[in-house]
Amino acid sequence: MSERNAATGRAGVPEGLERALAAEVSLAARVRNLAVGLAGGVAAALVAVLWATEPQPLPVRTRIAFAGLIAVGLAWAAFATWTLTRKRPLYARDRVLAGRLALAAATATAGAGTVLAVIRGTPVEVLVTAVTGLALVAAAGLALRRARARHRELLRLRDALRQETP
Protein backbone atom coordinates (compact mmCIF):
# COMPACT_ATOMS: atom_id res chain seq x y z
CA MET A 1 0.00 0.00 0.00
CA SER A 2 1.17 3.52 -0.69
CA GLU A 3 1.77 5.87 2.15
CA ARG A 4 -0.32 9.02 2.31
CA ASN A 5 1.75 12.15 2.63
CA ALA A 6 0.02 15.17 4.16
CA ALA A 7 1.78 17.53 1.73
CA THR A 8 0.72 15.64 -1.38
CA GLY A 9 -2.85 14.61 -0.64
CA ARG A 10 -3.59 11.09 -1.83
CA ALA A 11 -0.95 8.60 -2.81
CA GLY A 12 1.50 11.00 -4.39
CA VAL A 13 -0.98 13.35 -6.07
CA PRO A 14 0.15 16.94 -5.50
CA GLU A 15 -2.35 18.92 -3.49
CA GLY A 16 -2.59 21.67 -6.13
CA LEU A 17 -3.49 19.19 -8.86
CA GLU A 18 -5.97 17.39 -6.63
CA ARG A 19 -7.76 20.66 -5.83
CA ALA A 20 -7.75 21.76 -9.48
CA LEU A 21 -9.17 18.47 -10.74
CA ALA A 22 -11.76 18.33 -7.95
CA ALA A 23 -13.04 21.74 -9.11
CA GLU A 24 -13.14 20.50 -12.72
CA VAL A 25 -15.42 17.53 -11.90
CA SER A 26 -17.39 19.05 -9.01
CA LEU A 27 -21.15 18.93 -8.73
CA ALA A 28 -21.29 22.72 -9.12
CA ALA A 29 -19.41 22.54 -12.43
CA ARG A 30 -21.73 19.81 -13.70
CA VAL A 31 -24.86 21.71 -12.63
CA ARG A 32 -23.50 24.85 -14.34
CA ASN A 33 -22.96 22.87 -17.55
CA LEU A 34 -26.43 21.39 -17.27
CA ALA A 35 -27.90 24.89 -16.91
CA VAL A 36 -25.97 26.09 -19.97
CA GLY A 37 -27.22 23.13 -22.00
CA LEU A 38 -30.82 23.59 -20.93
CA ALA A 39 -30.70 27.33 -21.60
CA GLY A 40 -29.25 26.78 -25.07
CA GLY A 41 -31.67 24.00 -25.94
CA VAL A 42 -34.73 25.84 -24.64
CA ALA A 43 -33.73 29.06 -26.42
CA ALA A 44 -33.24 27.18 -29.70
CA ALA A 45 -36.58 25.41 -29.26
CA LEU A 46 -38.45 28.63 -28.47
CA VAL A 47 -37.05 30.44 -31.50
CA ALA A 48 -37.80 27.42 -33.71
CA VAL A 49 -41.40 27.26 -32.45
CA LEU A 50 -41.81 31.01 -32.93
CA TRP A 51 -40.48 30.70 -36.48
CA ALA A 52 -42.59 27.65 -37.30
CA THR A 53 -45.82 29.23 -36.07
CA GLU A 54 -45.52 32.46 -38.07
CA PRO A 55 -48.61 32.73 -40.29
CA GLN A 56 -46.74 34.56 -43.08
CA PRO A 57 -43.25 33.87 -44.45
CA LEU A 58 -40.67 35.94 -42.59
CA PRO A 59 -38.33 38.38 -44.33
CA VAL A 60 -34.95 36.93 -45.34
CA ARG A 61 -33.01 38.89 -42.70
CA THR A 62 -35.34 37.65 -39.98
CA ARG A 63 -34.96 34.06 -41.17
CA ILE A 64 -31.18 34.44 -41.13
CA ALA A 65 -31.32 35.91 -37.61
CA PHE A 66 -33.59 33.12 -36.37
CA ALA A 67 -31.36 30.47 -37.94
CA GLY A 68 -28.34 32.06 -36.25
CA LEU A 69 -30.06 32.11 -32.86
CA ILE A 70 -31.10 28.48 -33.23
CA ALA A 71 -27.55 27.51 -34.23
CA VAL A 72 -26.05 29.28 -31.21
CA GLY A 73 -28.56 27.65 -28.84
CA LEU A 74 -27.90 24.20 -30.29
CA ALA A 75 -24.14 24.79 -30.08
CA TRP A 76 -24.40 25.51 -26.35
CA ALA A 77 -26.63 22.46 -25.86
CA ALA A 78 -24.11 20.29 -27.73
CA PHE A 79 -21.28 21.77 -25.67
CA ALA A 80 -23.07 20.91 -22.43
CA THR A 81 -23.81 17.39 -23.65
CA TRP A 82 -20.15 16.91 -24.52
CA THR A 83 -18.93 18.11 -21.11
CA LEU A 84 -21.51 16.14 -19.15
CA THR A 85 -20.78 12.86 -20.93
CA ARG A 86 -17.04 12.96 -20.20
CA LYS A 87 -16.08 10.67 -17.34
CA ARG A 88 -12.57 12.00 -16.82
CA PRO A 89 -11.14 15.44 -16.10
CA LEU A 90 -11.12 17.71 -19.12
CA TYR A 91 -8.18 19.83 -17.92
CA ALA A 92 -10.18 22.96 -18.79
CA ARG A 93 -10.72 21.92 -22.43
CA ASP A 94 -14.39 22.65 -21.79
CA ARG A 95 -13.52 26.22 -20.87
CA VAL A 96 -11.50 26.65 -24.04
CA LEU A 97 -14.38 25.34 -26.14
CA ALA A 98 -16.86 27.58 -24.30
CA GLY A 99 -14.56 30.55 -24.91
CA ARG A 100 -14.42 29.74 -28.62
CA LEU A 101 -18.21 29.46 -28.79
CA ALA A 102 -18.64 32.74 -26.95
CA LEU A 103 -16.11 34.50 -29.18
CA ALA A 104 -17.77 33.18 -32.35
CA ALA A 105 -21.25 34.18 -31.18
CA ALA A 106 -20.10 37.61 -30.00
CA THR A 107 -18.22 38.27 -33.25
CA ALA A 108 -21.18 37.24 -35.40
CA THR A 109 -23.59 39.30 -33.30
CA ALA A 110 -21.33 42.35 -33.30
CA GLY A 111 -20.71 42.12 -37.04
CA ALA A 112 -24.35 41.60 -37.98
CA GLY A 113 -25.56 44.29 -35.60
CA THR A 114 -23.05 46.81 -36.88
CA VAL A 115 -23.89 46.06 -40.51
CA LEU A 116 -27.60 46.48 -39.79
CA ALA A 117 -26.94 49.72 -37.91
CA VAL A 118 -24.94 51.06 -40.86
CA ILE A 119 -27.76 50.17 -43.25
CA ARG A 120 -30.68 51.39 -41.15
CA GLY A 121 -29.41 53.56 -38.30
CA THR A 122 -28.06 56.97 -37.53
CA PRO A 123 -24.33 57.54 -36.96
CA VAL A 124 -24.90 57.53 -33.20
CA GLU A 125 -26.68 54.17 -33.39
CA VAL A 126 -23.84 52.77 -35.51
CA LEU A 127 -21.29 53.96 -32.97
CA VAL A 128 -23.21 52.56 -29.99
CA THR A 129 -23.75 49.23 -31.75
CA ALA A 130 -20.11 48.96 -32.81
CA VAL A 131 -18.75 49.88 -29.36
CA THR A 132 -21.12 47.46 -27.63
CA GLY A 133 -20.16 44.73 -30.09
CA LEU A 134 -16.47 45.38 -29.55
CA ALA A 135 -16.97 45.19 -25.79
CA LEU A 136 -18.70 41.82 -26.16
CA VAL A 137 -15.95 40.51 -28.45
CA ALA A 138 -13.27 41.78 -26.06
CA ALA A 139 -14.96 40.09 -23.08
CA ALA A 140 -15.28 36.81 -24.99
CA GLY A 141 -11.66 37.08 -26.14
CA LEU A 142 -10.53 37.64 -22.56
CA ALA A 143 -12.53 34.61 -21.40
CA LEU A 144 -10.91 32.50 -24.12
CA ARG A 145 -7.44 33.75 -23.17
CA ARG A 146 -8.02 32.90 -19.49
CA ALA A 147 -9.38 29.48 -20.44
CA ARG A 148 -6.33 28.69 -22.53
CA ALA A 149 -4.04 29.78 -19.68
CA ARG A 150 -5.94 27.55 -17.24
CA HIS A 151 -5.76 24.64 -19.70
CA ARG A 152 -1.97 25.06 -20.05
CA GLU A 153 -1.58 25.30 -16.25
CA LEU A 154 -3.50 22.08 -15.64
CA LEU A 155 -1.58 20.25 -18.36
CA ARG A 156 1.72 21.37 -16.79
CA LEU A 157 0.56 20.08 -13.41
CA ARG A 158 -0.49 16.78 -14.97
CA ASP A 159 2.81 16.40 -16.80
CA ALA A 160 4.76 17.21 -13.63
CA LEU A 161 2.83 14.51 -11.80
CA ARG A 162 3.56 11.96 -14.52
CA GLN A 163 7.27 12.74 -14.36
CA GLU A 164 7.35 12.36 -10.56
CA THR A 165 5.44 9.07 -10.59
CA PRO A 166 7.73 6.01 -10.98
Question: What gap in Å lies between CA 110 and CA 138, rounded to an integer?
Answer: 11
pLDDT of residue 140: 98
The DSSP secondary-structure symbol of 91 reads T
Average pLDDT estimate for 88-100: 90
Question: What gap in Å lies between CA 94 and CA 161, rounded to an integer?
Answer: 22
Model confidence, pTM: 0.79
Q: Angle 38-43-46 (CA atoms, 0-180°, nearest 5)?
A: 120
pLDDT band at 11 (very low <50, low <70, confident <90, very high): low
Question: What gap in Å lies between CA 94 and CA 100, rounded to an integer?
Answer: 10
The DSSP secondary-structure symbol of 2 reads P
| pLDDT tens column, 13-70 | 667 667 777 777 788 888 999 999 999 999 999 999 999 999 999 999 999 999 999 9
Residues 6+ apart with CB under 8 A from 86: 94
Are 15 and 7 in contact, with CB atoms under 8 Å apart?
yes
Nearest to 29 by CA among 102, 112, 89: 89
CA dist list (Å): 149 to 15, 38, 91, 104, 166: 20, 28, 11, 19, 28
